[in-house]
Structures are given as C-alpha cells and as structure tokens.
Amino acid sequence: MTARRAAAALLLAAAVTVAHAGSVPPQGCDRPMQVDAAQQDRLLRFAAVVREALAASGTPAALIARSGTDLSRFGLRYSHAAVALAEGLDMPWAVRQLYYDCVERQPRLFDQGLAGFVVGSDNPRIGFVRLLLLPPEAAAPLAAAALDRPLALGLLNARYSANAYPFSTLYQNCNQWVAELLAAAWAGRRERDEAQAWLRAEGYAPEPVRAAPWLMLAGRFVPWLHFHDHPDDLLNAGQVQTSLPDSLDAFAVQRWPMARRIELCHGPQGIVQREGGAPLADGCVPGPGDRRWAWD
C-alpha cells in the first residue's frame, strides 16, 4: 500500500462521520449533499434494487457497507459498515449502525432505512454498496444480537474516534461497533474488552496503514480523531490500525467461507449487480455476467 493510499485510508476514517444520519439534516461536521430530483429518483431506484437483493437472499441479517468520500484514485471504496435486518426495526431491511452526532459530539445507535443509508454518500452520481450474506448459523445470531437493544447499546462507547484502535476500549468508531457486535453474536461476548479479546484470538487483524505526519498533527485539533489509544510501536513506525469495512468483510469470510458477497453500484449507465468475483469497476461499468438495470 502506498503512502498516499495509506494516508487516504485514515482520511476516509476521519470522514465516516460525514453522512451517517442519511435522512437526518446534515449539521456541524456533516457536509450537506446537493441532490437534484433526477439524482434522488435514481438513488431511490438503487435502494430498491439493494432491497430486492437482500429480500431474495432469505437471510435474517447481512453485513452491509457503503462508499462514502470518493477515494477511488487511492484504491479505497468503502467507509461505513452496518447490519441490515430483514425484520424487527421500523421497516424491512432497515440498518442498525453507530452514528456519530457531529453537533453533540456523541456516538449513538441509529436505525435507518435503506434509502437513507444509500444517500449517505457524498457522490450522488456514482455509489457502491456491498452485501455479505452469511450462512444461517451466522446470520441468525447476528440478527438476534443486533435486535437486542440493551446488548447493542452496551457495546456502544461514549467516546468516539474515527481512527479508534481496534483493541482498546478507550474509543470506538462506527465499524468497530459492528466488529464487537459480531463477537457478541458469534461468541456471546457482551463486554467490549471481552469482545476485542475474542476478535484478536480469532484472527481479526485490520491491516495497519501508514499515517502521514500531517494527519498525526491533525489529531491535536480534530475532536473525532485521536492517536493516544494506539500502541507506541505502531505510531513510532508511522502506522495506525483501525477497523474499516474491508476488515469486517475479510474476518467474516474467513470464519464463514460459505458467505456470499454481492456488490452493487449506480452510475451514468444505470445499476449494476455482481455476485462474487472481482470488485466492480470504479465507474460502475458492467462486465460479463453482471446484472444491469439501465436508466429510462
């Protein structure tokens, strides 16, 4: 991984607070996204295709990730992960996630419809969603854990850091909450320290990224970016380890090889869906065997 790409990874982590609320009006550190009527229509149609893919799976829960800030030139795509649930929330296939309230500087448990989740990207023209459909023996306990509100809230840390170290209870980021929920679902670990110990023992190891000096300096001024929870040996080597959607995906597939990965995107040519295989092209260009829905 190049230094520019590594720096972008942490920039992405710092940016995951941008639009987690979706339908909630952007405030504070959230950046408002301008969407015209045609773009809104396409985003709603894209959300409907994502919902259809989830409904056709027959699973009660799935891991879902979305693209956020466009960092495709750095080879990075997904910023924010959540759990999509077939039932139990206000509507079928809503998502449960950690949301950082930029105004109050407080992380919260937030439930959101798929349309709002999809809109939570700062690029209304091109966007990506990745689904990981787990086998029943993994999906059922994940659904139960996600819908256990006291458990889900118990894993929520009051202190947020976009680049939180995955094996410290000092802070937490959005993706780390999902990781610890997996530990609760699959191993009954209801406390954060126990969940992290289990994750580490089972091979959860987010790839460290190289932090540019300017980013380390930014930690002194940005209230949702911290470094003192990270081990000195990593910081001295200019590296930072934090949870990102790719880490969750790799861990879940390692543990459940039968999991099915579906990637969807919307772009100028329409909507594209691919199951398995290589990632979709950055411009959302369909390839052989992909399903495609052209815009009218």
Checking if the pLDDT of 208 tops 90, the result is no
User: With pLDDT > 90 as the criterion, what percentage of the chain qualifies?
Assistant: 65
203 has pLDDT over 50: yes
- The pair phi, psi for residue 58, each rounded to 5°, is 75, 5
| 3-class secondary-structure state, position 113 | coil
* Alpha-carbon gap, residue 109 to 246, rounded angstroms: 21
Token pair in block for residue 131: 């689904």
pLDDT averaged over every residue in the chain: 86
Structure tokens at 128: 């990506």
Token couple for 242: 């934090």
Residue type, 101: D
Query: Residue 204: what residue type?
Result: Y
Structure tokens belonging to residue 122: 């700062």
Amino acid identity of 161?
A: S
pLDDT per residue over 224-249, tens digit each? 888 989 999 998 888 889 999 999 99
Q: Which of 259, 250, 234 is nearest to 165 (CA)?
A: 234
Q: What is the mean pLDDT of residues 125-130?
A: 94
Global confidence as pTM:
0.88
- How many distinct structural domains can be found in the chain? 1
Question: Residue 54 belongs to what domain range?
Answer: 3-293
Measured at the CA of 131, the angle between CA 128 and CA 132, to 5 degrees, comes to 145
Greater pLDDT, 97 or 228: 97
**pLDDT tens sequence across 26-78:** 333 555 567 888 889 999 999 999 999 999 999 999 999 999 755 454 456 89
pLDDT score of 223: 78
pLDDT tops 60 at residue 8: no
**In 3-state terms, what secondary structure has residue 120?**
coil
Angle at 290 between CA 124 and CA 276, to 5 degrees: 95
Is pLDDT at 24 greater than 90 in this prediction? no
Q: What pLDDT is recorded for position 30?
A: 53
Joined together, the tokens standing for residue 285 give 């260009």
